[in-house]
């Protein structure tokens, strides 16, 4: 009986109703706001990392091109610095002075792999707009295609864990951004 009297009194008191309704809905509104902000930040960071991954893959291809050009220049010097050079020495393209086997040897050498990894890491750390990448989790694949389409592919994978505002409310996999980019060098 007391409960019914209290409910009837509460129902007619509009100030108490507004106060209790606000007290119940305000945390829900704040939680939705936090989720919107968190997902917006993840979306923006994903876009930044996709752009950064593409640019990093391009810098890796440039490093590869420099290395292959140096090898082709070395081959040019060996083949064409003689009294009567062959007709191929009239070519201006460096790809005429390097074979697919030599390209595969360069891309598979441990020295080049370490140099490329260092180059990619340095580029990631310098070019990151938020300067959050300190020890990035990235991998890359170098493949050489030969045949009608001759090119070297560099596929870069970048994973970055994100800060989680909500603790363990959502799965930790929801806060890991994975991006990949493919850059290639035709020869």
- pLDDT at position 46 is 83
- pLDDT at position 22 is 83
In a domain, 22, yes or no: yes
In a domain, 12, yes or no: no
Buried b (16+ CB within 10 A) or exposed e, 103-131: beebbeeeebeeebeebbeebbeeebeee
- pLDDT at position 115 is 92
- pLDDT at position 165 is 60
Q: How many domains does the chain have?
A: 1
Q: What is the mean pLDDT of each run of 10 residues along the chain (187 residues)?
A: 68 69 87 84 84 90 90 87 79 81 90 92 86 79 80 87 60 66 78
In a domain, 31, yes or no: yes
In a domain, 101, yes or no: yes
In a domain, 36, yes or no: yes
For residue 69, give its domain range. 18-186
In a domain, 11, yes or no: no
In a domain, 10, yes or no: no
In a domain, 8, yes or no: no
**103-156-53 Cα angle (round to 5):** 125
């Amino acid at each position: 009986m007391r409960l019914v009297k209290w409910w009837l009194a509460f129902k007619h008191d509009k100030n108490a109703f507004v106060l209790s309704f606000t007290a119940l809905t305000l945390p829900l509104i704040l939680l939705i706001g936090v989720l919107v902000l968190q997902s917006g930040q993840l979306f923006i960071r994903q876009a930044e990392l996709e752009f950064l991954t593409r640019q990093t893959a391009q810098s890796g291809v440039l490093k590869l091109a420099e290395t292959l050009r140096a090898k082709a220049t070395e081959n040019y010097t060996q083949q064409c610095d003689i009294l009567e050079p062959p007709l191929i020495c009239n070519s201006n393209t460096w790809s005429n002075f390097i074979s697919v086997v030599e390209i595969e040897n360069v891309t598979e050498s441990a020295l080049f792999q370490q140099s490329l990894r260092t180059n990619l890491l340095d580029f990631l750390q310098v070019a990151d707009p938020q300067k959050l990448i300190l020890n990035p989790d990235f991998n890359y694949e170098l493949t050489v295609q030969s045949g009608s389409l001759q090119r070297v592919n560099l596929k870069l994978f970048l994973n970055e864990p994100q800060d989680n505002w909500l603790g363990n409310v959502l799965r930790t996999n929801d806060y890991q951004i994975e991006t990949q980019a493919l850059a290639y060098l035709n020869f």
